[in-house]
């Protein structure tokens, strides 16, 4: 007979899920109520308002999709891309490639703007591509590439897209809550994120926000949205403003309790303070890793504080090291993805996981495990280097 | 400043979500671990085995979709229907109509077999339709119509479909765990369900199972599955048997803890015992409601024990009664859907909610609230009528 599952306690410093606050875990276990219960509908309104705060937007269409970040991505593409539409995608990592898949499965044509992995997207390349493709309707890019830890200049990329009269779809899965995502100020048209990164909620929900311009496009489509589940024309009947909520699908009630609590925590701290905390702890972790002799994949000016990709030292067994970290230190760090598999580790400092205790654990564990594996690192210096930046 | 949300404690006797066991709520709050953590992968294998038990199948492709039941439905259609495919849909309620939407959005042609709402699907009508459409490739129907409480003869419908060389897609959202769903014995090709009905888990996950024949069709498609998120060719890399798990999307880790626990509870009780419990309590509820003078929408031989649709007495205000039940008794029952809106109530007896305490609460509350509203019911007899059937 199968027994109840009791997971081990881990420290989650990978690319997400990140450590979840005990407050969020406690919220998940509160009594389930109906998805049309007035009390629940009141909570939904609060979730919307809190997400508007997190995204820094007044967009009425701001809500969590009832599925993981990949479904949030698909919500943006399936609602905005019509068969035959040309979509310019700036790629600098794994998730740009996923955007291409989405466009093609919607019947659109993807024009790729390739950038080196680990680098920010080059705005000039986008501009040139748009000049060469005046019939492009949408520009899509990843703000914070989870596969490499590189951050691009979303504001500038959106400006260029608008100059060429394109709508913009922005992946803010890893940036939201960790670095500024200013949806209104940057005039992003459609943006999606995930619950399990810097929001430090459990995985399974994907916050999105659509501008009025994007919503107008959804409402004036000539082809039906190919996904019934993700069709915003229908979803908005349930999540829409005011009045009667129309049943569309059954919302993941308890998961939304968790997101609500995670967003309340973010509001309590304040977005600016959360961004500053990510930057400060990133600098400390970085000082420690570099003191040890590890090198970063991304140049300092484009590094995401919440996702630190470091090159695996030559001769070191990627999988063995990560297993030892997990088994001996209950510490999870992330593997490389795509062309970076086996070449880099991705160390997350996301949301609730972004704290001094985790940095000391991570540096201490790497110091031990890498030296045991015979890696050419400098021992016993990493923690002190980090401490120097965390003391004040 | 928005405060943490503390939901009221309700008794959930609507069409789902149903009451969730405290064991499941507790499981949801266990520490989050990574979606590629070996401990998590071990739990995934247990979830698959437990779902195979619940579905009574050996299908290797048996797993929960990381989204609500509507996404489970879409997974079946989007993977099995190719552009131009003709799909015969037997409709006897709201959810058959949703199947039609799915087929058309996949580029297929839907041929509807209309049956009266509240009645079982007529196998002869299906047979006639298939004779008239020898090019049909798939037959789809709802086993247990959540909108009316009618159960159809899935075994016979599948036999007829196979006789005409069609694959079958079966909606078992409301039946799974409450009445027999014998996937292998009935030779169902693709089936989907929801976590929040008779499995008594929280909403947000959709168990599915595909036969080898269905899987062969998915693998031999000429068009890519239009949804990247729901493409089983990709999802199976993460949920598939043995070996290395390939990252596709981030699984909803804690929601899966809850489903695991709900399935362990089902296994502990035993499927046959769970079915018998639903039947016995349905009979008691039915005796009470009929003693009171309320009448059922569905004929006895086609009634779902877990979803009891009763006609709203003439002159009674649907919304006012349900509000009073919620406010005075913290009891949720369901409204009518589609053509039955305002005409019926749907009283769920699903999973953990299917117990004597809930029946007494529901009958006592209806007795009070309906008589206060001046409805022509017989007072003070319902509970005793139910008790007579629950005592032994």
CB pairs under 8 A between A and B: 269
Q: Does B97 touch chain A (CB under 8 A)?
A: no
The predicted pLDDT at position A60 comes to 95
The CATH number for B106's domain is 3.40.640.10
- The domain boundary residue, chosen from B234, B268, B302: B268
Structure tokens at A180: 């500024």
- Over its length of 392 residues, how does chain A's per-residue pLDDT go in tens digits? 899 999 999 999 999 999 999 999 999 999 999 999 999 999 999 999 999 999 999 999 999 999 999 999 999 999 999 999 999 999 999 999 999 999 999 999 999 999 999 999 999 999 999 999 999 999 999 999 999 999 999 999 999 999 999 999 999 999 999 999 999 999 999 999 999 999 999 999 999 999 999 999 999 999 999 999 999 999 998 987 656 788 899 999 999 999 999 999 999 999 999 999 999 999 999 999 999 999 999 999 999 999 999 999 999 999 999 999 999 999 999 999 999 999 999 999 999 999 999 999 999 999 999 999 999 999 999 999 999 999 86
CA distance A99 to A171: 9
Over chain B, what is the mean pLDDT? 97
| Same-domain pairing of A241 and A319 | no
| Same-domain pairing of B182 and B287 | no
**A255 is a domain residue:** yes
Which residue of A32, A255, A326 is in closest CB contact with B20? A32
pLDDT, tens digit (0-9, with 9 covering 90-100), for B230-271: 999 999 989 876 567 888 999 999 999 999 999 999 999 999
Which residue of B14, B34, B228 is in closest CB contact with A14? B34
Residues of chain A with C-beta less than 8 angstroms from the C-beta of B228: 70, 74, 98, 101-102, 105
Q: How is residue A144 annotated by DSSP?
A: E
**A6 is a domain residue:** no
Cβ within 8 Å, pair B29-A33: no
Which residue of B8, B37, B40 is in closest CB contact with A39? B8
Q: What is this structure's pTM?
A: 0.98
Q: Can you tell me the ipTM of this complex?
A: 0.97
| Same-domain pairing of A257 and A299 | no
Which residue of A1, A50, A228 is in closest CB contact with B74? A228
**A10 is a domain residue:** no
Return residues 117-146 of B near A (CB < 8 Å). Answer: none
| Same-domain pairing of A259 and A309 | no
Q: Does B45 touch chain A (CB under 8 A)?
A: no
Q: Å from A340 to nearest chain B CA?
A: 14
- The domain boundary residue, chosen from A221, A237, A267: A267
**A97 is a domain residue:** yes
pLDDT, tens digit (0-9, with 9 covering 90-100), for B79-104: 999 999 999 999 999 999 999 999 99
CA distance A114 to A66: 32
Which residue of A14, A35, A337 is in closest CB contact with B17? A35
The predicted pLDDT at position B391 comes to 84
Phi, psi of B166, deg, nearest 5: -110, 145
Q: Does A262 touch chain B (CB under 8 A)?
A: no
Cβ within 8 Å, pair B4-A27: yes
Q: Is A322 exposed, middle or buried (0-12, 13-18, 19+ CB in 10 A)?
A: buried
| Same-domain pairing of A171 and A276 | no
pLDDT, tens digit (0-9, with 9 covering 90-100), for B200-223: 999 999 999 999 999 999 999 999
| Same-domain pairing of B264 and B275 | no
- The domain boundary residue, chosen from B238, B268, B298: B268
Confidence class for position B388, pLDDT limits 50, 70, 90? very high
Q: Å from A161 to nearest chain B CA?
A: 25
| Same-domain pairing of B261 and B340 | no
| Same-domain pairing of B93 and B214 | yes
**B351 is a domain residue:** yes
| Among A168, A100, A88, residue whose Cα is nearest residue A338 | A100
| Same-domain pairing of A277 and A189 | no
Q: What is the mean pLDDT of residues B184-198?
A: 98
DSSP string, B179-247: S---HHHHT-SEEE--TTSTT---SS-EEEEE-HHHHHHHHT-SS--S-STT-HHHHHHHHSSSSPPPP
The CATH number for A301's domain is 3.90.1150.10
Residues of chain A with C-beta less than 8 angstroms from the C-beta of B43: 5, 7
Q: What is the mean pLDDT of residues B55-72?
A: 97
**A14 is a domain residue:** no
Q: Does A171 touch chain B (CB under 8 A)?
A: no
CA distance A288 to A281: 11
| Same-domain pairing of B107 and B229 | yes
The predicted pLDDT at position B243 comes to 61
User: Which chain A residue is nearest to residue B44, measuring alpha carbons?
Assistant: A5
* Total number of domains in chain B: 2
| Same-domain pairing of A300 and A184 | no
Cβ within 8 Å, pair A250-B196: yes
| Same-domain pairing of A259 and A313 | no
Residues of chain A with C-beta less than 8 angstroms from the C-beta of B96: none
Q: Å from A326 to nearest chain B CA?
A: 9
The predicted pLDDT at position B197 comes to 98
**B1 is a domain residue:** no
Residues of chain B with C-beta less than 8 angstroms from the C-beta of A67: 66-68, 71, 229
Residues in chain B: 392
Which residues span the domain enclosing A295? 271-390
| Among A45, A38, A237, residue whose Cα is nearest residue B323 | A38
At what angle are helices B382-390 and B271-292 packed, to 10 degrees? 150
Q: Which residues contact A329 (CB under 8 A, 6 or more apart)?
A: A11, A361, A365, A369
Residues of chain B with C-beta less than 8 angstroms from the C-beta of A6: 30
Q: What is the mean pLDDT of residues B144-155?
A: 97
The predicted pLDDT at position B217 comes to 97
Provide the β-strand partners of residue A64.
A207
**B290 is a domain residue:** yes
Which residue of A3, A102, A261 is in closest CB contact with B4? A261
């Amino acid at each position: 007979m199968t027994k109840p599952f009791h997971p081990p306690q881990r420290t989650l410093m990978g690319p997400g899920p990140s450590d979840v606050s005990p407050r969020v875990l406690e919220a998940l276990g509160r009594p389930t109520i109906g998805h049309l219960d007035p009390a629940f509908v009141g909570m939904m309104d609060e979730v919307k308002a809190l997400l508007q705060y997190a995204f820094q937007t007044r967009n009425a269409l701001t809500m969590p999709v009832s599925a993981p970040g990949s479904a949030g991505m698909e919500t943006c593409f399936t609602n905005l891309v019509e068969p035959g539409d040309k979509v310019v995608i700036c790629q600098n990592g794994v998730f740009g490639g996923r955007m291409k898949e989405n466009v093609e499965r919607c019947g659109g044509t993807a024009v790729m703007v390739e950038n080196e992995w680990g680098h920010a997207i080059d705005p000039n390349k986008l501009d040139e591509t748009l000049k060469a493709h005046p019939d492009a309707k949408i520009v899509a890019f990843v703000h914070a590439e989870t596969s490499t830890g590189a951050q691009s200049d979303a504001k500038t990329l959106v400006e260029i897209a608008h100059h060429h009269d394109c709508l913009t779809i922005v992946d803010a899965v890893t940036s939201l809550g960790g670095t500024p995502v200013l949806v209104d100020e940057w005039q992003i048209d459609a943006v999606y994120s995930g619950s399990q990164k810097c929001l430090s909620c459990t995985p399974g929900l994907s916050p999105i926000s659509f501008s009025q311009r994007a919503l107008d496009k959804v409402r004036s489509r000539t082809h039906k949205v190919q996904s019934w589940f993700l069709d915003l024309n229908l979803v908005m009947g349930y999540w829409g403003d005011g009045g009667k909520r129309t049943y569309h699908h059954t919302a993941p009630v308890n998961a939304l309790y968790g997101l609500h609590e995670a967003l309340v925590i973010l509001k309590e701290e304040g977005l600016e303070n959360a961004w500053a905390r990510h930057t400060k702890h990133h600098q400390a972790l970085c000082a420690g890793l570099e003191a040890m002799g590890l090198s970063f994949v991304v140049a300092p000016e484009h590094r995401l504080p919440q996702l630190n990709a470091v090159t695996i030292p030559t001769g070191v067994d990627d999988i063995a090291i990560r297993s030892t970290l997990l088994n001996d230190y209950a510490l999870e760090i992330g593997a490389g993805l795509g062309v970076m598999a086996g070449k880099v580790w991705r160390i997350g400092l996301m949301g609730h996981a972004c704290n001094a205790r985790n940095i000391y654990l991570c540096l201490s564990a790497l110091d031990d495990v890498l030296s045991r594996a015979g890696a050419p690192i400098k021992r016993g210096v990493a923690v002190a280097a980090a401490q120097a930046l965390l003391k004040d």
